[in-house]
Structure 1
Amino acid sequence: MTAHDKTLALMARGREFLGTETAILCGAMSWVSERNLVAAISNAGGFGVIACGAMTPELLDAEIAATKTLTQKPFGVNLITMHPQLFELIAICAQHGVGHVVAAGGIPPKGSVEAIKEAGAKVICFAPTLALGKKLLRSGADALVIEGNEAGGHIGPVSTSVLAQEILPTLAEDNIVFVAGGIGRGEAMAGYLEMGAAGVQLGTRFACASESIAHPDFKKMFFRASARDAIASVQVDPRLPVIPVRALRNKGTEEFTAKQIEVAKKLDAGELDMGEAQLAIEHFWAGALRRAVIDGDVEGGSVMAGQSVGMVKAEEPVAEIIAALLVESEAALTKRSAA
């Protein structure tokens, strides 16, 4: 990999932290980031991350075991901090000797970071603001991911470029910080590395890899999409909270807007109380991601994708995706150093 000296040098801290050839992580995508894709990314020199999502401890146990049969390289596990069995899931990771646990979906509950570290694993947390990033590091996080709202799936309100400018100059020199959200090419990766990032995380770019088990119709929707097709969910009524999610526009997203209007009217008419109304909104997308990824229901399901989806044009092996990112990054760094 000597052809990528500049890029790998900038990734040195991230590579050491992850134990990998490159500091390129794959974002944990529910139903997509399973044993096949995770192992392929790790085998290609990146860092695969199992998306635990709503798995039970028994399912996670089986998934980690299966992944270990496909790769001898390091990989991580992404745990949702609000999972009702979080500590049981942490114990499963410990039993398997998982070296890195990503805590996602909110601030880790009391005792969870300590439980992860007691087993010798590193803790990676998401930091949507500088203040929270500092707090997470003080609380024991070993590394941070700053992810902008260009990303697919659940998103915050601030763009990657702004978060990077706010957080990297303050925290990156003394801490491991990975940048995520909207990264689809190596030139962007190079820019964040130059700003001090230890590495990057990509999800959308890997979702349609040859090794991804996503349904062919799911992948075809990615190939046809442009950046503007990846839209954030809209909240129609302030009384009915909507968790912001970025996904490709389809019949489901249109029906969700109509559903909110319908529920708001029933709320106004007294046909539903507030609790019933909010549950109706929350339940709308139940199982929708699985329907899209596994069953291929790309009109009624949730086709989560980041704005970099416009750069995903064909099914490619993971190794070729990572190689292209490195080539693009090295060319950009070489050009700038020669200027």
Structure 2
Amino acid sequence: MNTYPKTSALMARGSEFLGSEYAILCGAMSWVSERNLVSAISNGGGFGVIACGAMTPELLDTEIAATRAMTDKPFGVNLITMHPALTDLIGVCARHGVTHVVLAGGIPPKGSVEAIKAFGAKVIVFAPTLALAKKLLRSGADALVIEGMEAGGHIGPVSTSVLAQEFLPELSADHVVFVAGGIGRGEAMAGYLEMGASGVQLGTRFACATESIAHPNFKKAFFRAKARDAEASVQVDPRLPVIPVRALKNKGTAEFTAKQREVAGILDSGEVDMGEAQLQIEHYWAGALRRAVVDGDVENGSLMAGQSVGMVKQEEPVADIIAALMAESEAALSGR
């Protein structure tokens, strides 16, 4: 007997697409979404996604193999579109028979979607506008994530609730669409499912799970934080198109402002082109995030967090988090 019949019915399309019991994806968080958390989420009925981030093909190869040793359930791999070794990373996914690849960080380069579909994997993409979403879906993407500005990490300028109202009526009848950004409880999940979403994606809610390898200092910072503490970074120079990043305010956020000035300076001098300048920014975030997540330097590292961080109060096993989300959603739907 299904414990959550109403919720499961609404997310049936997403669950079938992912091959998981519940259509709950874990957002790919660099240094956090690795073998331990990913396998725990998939084993708990959700869908874990490895955050490739700045990994080399060799490191991704090791991570996929290690994750597969810890779960026999489906999981995905998130690849950054501007990664200089994207083609090789896709090749690693092909060798391992990865079933779902998430392309994030920009418009997929020409041929990348085709290369992923060639080995039978499903392609999940992000789109900040409805026009781009339709174009990517026409171009072969199998599913879409719409992510609002409440999310942690790299964000767009529009809220989740507005994106959902704009995208879901247009796309949900014919396409698999997942909603992300600021979701911390099952009641919100239920609302988006009722609007036509096939499922949801959460990151911040899982960042401090028992199975997360994040440093105790990192987790404590989350437990202390309120929604307003998760601030978006400021763009210093309009010539350097830096995607805003939402993180808990600390010395690291101030250091990023200085880093932007430094990169803008070498861009002006002609030492690097725009592509290299943006890569330097990405490498900064990868290093700053590692300092916080792995080393526990919560003053100078990057504490990427969504505005749902105020709902993260304690360490909990992944299975308990998923069960709570499903129970909250079911109670909300049953009370309609």
TM-score range, shorter chain: over 0.9
Are the equivalent residues in 2 in contact too, given 1:233–1:242 (CA < 8 A)?
no
The offset of 1:55, in angstroms, is 0.9
User: Is the contact between residue 30 and residue 286 of structure 2 (CA under 8 Å) also seen in structure 1?
Assistant: no
CA–CA separation in structure 2 for the residues paired with 1:272 and 1:39: 41
Which residue of the partner structure matches residue 66 of structure 2? 66
Matched AA of 1:130: L
The amino acid that maps onto 1:244 is P
Offset of residue 276 of structure 1: 6.1
Deviation by residue 1:288-337 (Cα, 9 ceiling, x = unmatched): 0111110011110111000000000000000000000001000100111x
CA RMSD of aligned residues (A): 2.1
Instruction: Using the TM superposition, give the Cα deviation of residue 86 of structure 1 relative to its aligned residue in structure 2, in angstroms.
Output: 1.0
1:192 equivalent to 2:214? Answer no
SS of the residue corresponding to residue 89 of structure 1 reads helix
Q: Deviations over 1:62-93 (max 9, x none)?
A: 10000011000000000111111111111111
- Corresponding residue number in structure 1 for 2:224: 224
Which residue matches 1:154?
154
Aligned to 1:19: 19
Q: Percent identity?
A: 80
Deviation at 1:95, TM superposition (A): 1.0
User: Secondary structure of the equivalent of 2:335?
Assistant: helix
Give the equivalent residue in structure 1 for 2:105.
Answer: 105
* Structure 2 length-normalised TM: 0.93
Q: Which runs of 4+ in 1 moved over 6 A?
A: none
The answer to whether the 8 A contact 2:291-2:302 is kept is: yes
Contact 2:54/2:286 (<8 A) preserved: no
Give runs of aligned pairs for residues 1-339 of structure 1, distance below 5 A: 2-257=2-257, 273-275=268-270, 282=281, 285=285, 287-336=287-336
CA spacing shift, 1:275–1:286, aligned 2, 3 Å: farther
- Are residues 141 and 239 of structure 1, via their aligned partners in 2, closer, same or farther at CA, if it must alter by over 3 Å? closer
Q: Structure 1 residues 317 and 135 mapped into 2: Cα distance closer, same or farther (>3 Å)?
A: same
Q: CA deviation at 1:240?
A: 4.5
Partners of 1:60 and 1:241 lie apart in 2 by 28
Q: Is the CA contact (8 Å cut-off) linking 1:90 and 1:115 kept in structure 2?
A: yes
Q: Deviations over 1:194-252 (max 9, x none)?
A: 00000000000000000000000000000000000000001234345432000000012
Contact preservation (8 Å) 2:290, 2:301:
yes
Once residues 195 and 272 of structure 1 are traced to their aligned partners in structure 2, the CA distance between those partners, rounded to angstroms, is 44
Count of residue correspondences: 331
Amino acid at match of 1:134: K
Q: Secondary structure at the match of 1:3?
A: coil
| Alpha-carbon distance change, 171 to 298 in structure 1, aligned in 2, over 3 angstroms | same
> Please, what TM-score do these two structures have when normalized by structure 1?
0.93
Checking the alignment, whether the CA contact within 8 Å between 2:52 and 2:60 is kept in structure 1 is yes
Quote the Cα distance in structure 1 between the aligned partners of 2:95 and 2:134. 30
Once the 2 structures are TM-superposed, how far is the Cα of residue 257 of structure 1 from its aligned partner? 3.7
One-letter amino acid of the counterpart of residue 14, structure 2: G
Partner amino acid for 1:41? I
1:101-131 CA deviation, whole Å, 9 max, x = no partner?
Answer: 0011111111111111110110000111110
SS of 2:169's partner is: helix
Task: Please say if residues 53 and 79 of structure 1, whose CA atoms lie closer than 8 Å, have aligned partners that are also in contact.
Answer: yes
Q: Which runs of 5+ in 2 are unaligned?
A: none
Query: Structure 1 pair 174/285, CA: closer, same or farther in 2 (3 Å)?
Result: closer
CA contact (8 A) 1:21 1:46 kept: yes
Contact 1:50 1:76 in 2 (8 A): yes
Q: Secondary structure of the equivalent of 1:201?
A: strand
